[in-house]
Structure 1
């Protein structure tokens, strides 16, 4: 049986795409959930934090003498805490722009992890495509707000 992770990873883009479409159509709020921009911001923060947590998990399996055993927890914490502080302090558009930077930063980390053979080429390929989708949805949303 194939692992469901690639399918779930791509499915995770649906809220980003939906929010971008809603914002472009002028749908300012989603019933029960709140404003579309806030829903997008919170979902982006959750997913970016989840990705940083996945990096943290990768570092736990590395030998102490592997340079990535030190780099990964530092980079993942900087990104997660930076996004959290940005969520608390920036305007919605400013935070969505910061999410773009955060997701690109997470992808750069994954590229380096793939080069170091810590993550598989197949996993990185999925991450690359998903990041492109997410970043485009965030940029479209930020331009429309």
Structure 2
């Protein structure tokens, strides 16, 4: 993977890490911080369906992958619409873990790219889930 890909991936963690800290030290109101956090989380979760959309189209798959590519966006939107508090944070966290597992077993990337991608995604997802936990206890 290109260094730029990795830099952008890790830069995407900035809001996940900074918002709980800003709330904890009192620079951001807890409720507004929570709202900004879950909105950002939902947007980023939606992003992860895109790689499956591309993979399904590029590899001319007619199986479940094309349909599953829409799930992160739908789950994120429905979660924002109908959930709140720790339930919303929990569903978003579990969705990140679920799409990571799906990535690992379904994506048809070259083996070395898939290994690098999965390694990076595991690191990113770990930080994201921990940030959700931290936000739940703020």
> 1: CA distance between counterparts of 2:23 and 2:86?
12
Alignment-derived partner of residue 39 in structure 2: 42
The match for 1:55 is: 52
- Work out whether residues 43 and 76 of structure 2, in 8 Å CA contact, stay in contact via their aligned partners in 1: no
Long gaps (5+) in structure 2: none
Length-normalised TM-score, structure 1: 0.81
Aligned counterpart, 2:102: 109
- Alignment correspondent of 1:136: 130
User: What is the distance in 2 between the residues matched to 1:129 and 1:20?
Assistant: 18
Q: Structure 1: state its 5+ residue gaps.
A: none
Alignment of 1:54-93 (within 5 A): 54-64=51-61, 69-93=62-86
RMSD: 2.2
* Equivalent residue, structure 1, for 2:12: 12
Q: Tell me the alpha carbon deviations over residues 67-97 of structure 1, each in whole angstroms, 9 at most, x when there is no partner.
A: xx52222223223212211101111332111
Q: How does the TM-score come out when normalised to structure 2?
A: 0.85
Output the CA distance in 1 between the equivalents of 2:93 and 2:10: 17
In the TM superposition, residue 14 of structure 1 has moved relative to its aligned partner by 0.7
The size of the alignment, in residue pairs, is 135
